């Protein structure tokens, strides 16, 4: 069974836990969202949501490639 979470609910949960764990309100208000995509062939990717960037890393954490989603996805949207 898959659990479908509303992103706003997850954000609220994360922020409330940070506050309970002792984070300052000012710091919690400035949270940056990232999504890590699990390893594939000893590599992984991270989506930096707020800045619209995908970063690809090797097994040692060395950055291999960066993709700016705003420039990469705009032509695809225009063609659709």
Alpha carbon distance 78, 51 (integer Å): 21
Structure-token match 């659990």, residue found: 3
pLDDT band at 78 (very low <50, low <70, confident <90, very high): low
Q: How confident is the model at residue 4 (pLDDT cuts 50, 70, 90)?
A: low
Please report the pLDDT score of residue 73 as a whole number.
67
pTM above 0.85, yes or no: no
pLDDT over 60 at 40, yes or no: yes
Sketch the domain layout of the chain as residue ranges. 1-31, 32-80
Question: What distance in Å separates the CA atoms of residue 37 and residue 61, rounded to the nearest whole number?
Answer: 13
At 8-36, the pLDDT tens digits run 787 888 889 889 999 999 988 888 787 88
């Amino acid at each position: 069974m898959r659990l479908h979470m509303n992103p706003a609910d997850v954000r609220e949960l994360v922020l409330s836990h940070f506050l309970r764990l002792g984070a300052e309100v000012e710091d919690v208000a400035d949270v940056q969202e990232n999504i890590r995509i699990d390893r594939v062939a000893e590599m992984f990717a991270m989506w930096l949501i707020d800045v619209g960037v995908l970063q690809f890393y090797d097994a040692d954490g060395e950055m291999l490639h960066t993709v700016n989603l705003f420039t990469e996805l705009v032509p695809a949207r225009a063609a659709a």
